[in-house]
Amino acid sequence: MTTPEQNSPTTLGPTPFVFHPSRETGIEGPAFSRAFQAITWATLLGSGYWLLTLWQQGKFGGDTGFNGLRAAGWFVLGWALLAWTTWHVMHSRARLDETGIHQTWIWDKHMTYDELAYAKLIRIRGLEWFMAPRFYVRTLMGKFAVFYVSSAHVQRECERLSAELAAFRKF
């Protein structure tokens, strides 16, 4: 004959952390500030203009035709990478919902709450308008991720998550 304790599943490790965002649907905001997005666009357009000017002046092998553009290939590829990054800076979003923390980016990031061991919002006060605060999280297995969070309401939610996690892990 078995007792109920023998039939119940045993959990290994600490109790999983549970977090409920302030809204049922989750809370979401842009990952990067408008000022940072504007600087990213200015860098993209300025470097594109400079590259075009150098090509028109024949600085890539003395040819202003296709051969000159081909000679500038590595520079054009570098500019294309900058354009790709700019697109992602403009569209990246950070979200906290019932399943975890997410950020859309060149590669999307995701971390579930039950894996979290540590969380901290890192920022330079007064420069949030320019440099997006980073939400650093680490799992029980040591894996870490950094989420960019420029939205004030998402930052407050990250601070609440960090405080609740610290209190939960104290025991």
Lowest mean pLDDT among 21-25, 66-70, 127-131, 148-152: 66-70
Cα distance between residue 102 and residue 108, in whole Å: 7
Rounded Cα gap, residues 20 and 161, in angstroms: 9
Asked if residue 8 lies in contact with residue 60, where contact means CB atoms within 8 angstroms, the answer is: no
The model's pLDDT over 33-47, given as tens digits with 9 standing for 90+, comes to 999 999 999 999 999
Residues 6+ apart with CB under 8 A from 148: 31, 32, 92, 94, 103, 132, 133, 134, 135
Examine the pLDDT at 8 and tell me if it is beyond 50: no
Pairing of strands 93-96, 116-122: unpaired
Q: Report residue 94: phi and psi, to 5°.
A: -110, 140
Crossing angle of the two packed helices 73-91 and 34-56, in degrees rounded to 10:
160
Whole-angstrom Cα distance, residue 53 to residue 140? 52
State the amino acid at position 52 in one-letter form.
L
Rounded to whole angstroms, the Cα distance separating 29 from 31 reads 6
135 - beta bridge partners? Answer: 121, 147
Q: Calculate what percentage of the chain has a pLDDT beyond 90.
A: 62
More confident residue, 91 or 99: 91
Listed in sequence order, the residues at least 6 apart from 13 whose beta carbon sits closer than 8 Å to its beta carbon are 140
Domains of the chain and CATH, by start: 28-170 (2.30.29.30)
pTM of the model: 0.80
